[in-house]
């Protein structure tokens, strides 16, 4: 969706929207923020990359087509996908192969601070919270959002992108912004992204909506 790079190896933030194809708020919010960054020529300290998740499920307006892409980040699944000819792969397998290539290339670069934020929505109207697989009390960027935080959920839900990214030394968490299809969720994600960029030090000024 966009790649803003100052060339400094200070901060890397990867924003992922629509890993579930029917959850478009994060995808739209990333585009909102990136449009403002382009228009204003905002100075970036490090690098910010926006990625759309499950493109085929987005087109089909479904959470997924063959299997949940946010349960597929297991070594045995990734190895199978990378070793299988593309013509034999399912829809989500193909998405996983492309995403893994992009993320692996970014993740193996030497940045001082690395973040991955996975943007989601829920079936609940006021489901606004973070899902953190680590120790949120030690994570100043996550704390800056001032939202309720669910911990240890990754122990019960295997194969999430969040847990996969921790092996690369990323601070990673999911940001749930409310109900699927709600315009309010787009606003919450948009504001949240600005807060994350500012509090991580990637941009120098906060942003008012």
What pLDDT is stored for residue 56 in this prediction? 94
| Mean pLDDT (the chain, rounded) | 90
Task: Please state the rounded mean pLDDT for residues 142-153.
Answer: 82
Q: Quick: pLDDT tens for 1-33.
A: 999 999 999 999 999 999 999 999 999 999 999
What pLDDT is stored for residue 147 in this prediction? 85
Task: Classify residue 119 as exposed, middle or buried by CB count within 10 Å of its CB (0-12, 13-18, 19+).
Answer: buried
Specify the 3-state DSSP secondary structure of 14. Answer: strand
Task: Please state the rounded mean pLDDT for residues 53-57.
Answer: 94
What pLDDT is stored for residue 176 in this prediction? 93
- Decide: 46 and 11 in contact? Cβ < 8 Å: yes
Q: pLDDT band at residue 209, thresholds of 50, 70 and 90? A: low
Single pTM value for the model: 0.92
């Amino acid at each position: 969706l966009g790649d803003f790079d100052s060339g400094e190896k200070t901060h890397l933030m990867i924003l992922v929207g629509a890993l579930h194809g029917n959850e478009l708020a994060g995808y739209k919010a990333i585009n909102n923020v990136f449009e403002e960054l382009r228009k204003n020529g905002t100075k970036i300290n490090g690098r910010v990359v926006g990625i759309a998740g499950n493109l085929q499920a987005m087109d089909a307006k479904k959470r997924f087509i063959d299997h949940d892409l946010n349960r597929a980040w297991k070594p045995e699944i990734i190895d199978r996908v990378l070793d299988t000819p593309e013509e034999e792969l399912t829809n989500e397998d193909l998405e996983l192969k492309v995403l893994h290539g992009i993320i692996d290339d970014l993740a193996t670069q030497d940045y001082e601070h690395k973040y991955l934020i996975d943007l989601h929505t829920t079936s609940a109207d006021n489901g606004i919270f973070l899902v953190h697989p680590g120790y949120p009390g030690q994570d100043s960027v996550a704390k800056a959002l001032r939202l309720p935080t669910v911990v240890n959920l990754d122990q019960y839900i295997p194969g999430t992108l969040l847990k996969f990214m921790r092996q690369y030394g990323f601070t990673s968490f999911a940001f749930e912004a409310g109900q699927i299809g709600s315009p309010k969720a787009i606003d919450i994600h948009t504001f949240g992204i600005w807060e994350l960029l500012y509090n991580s030090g990637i941009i120098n000024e906060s942003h008012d909506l």
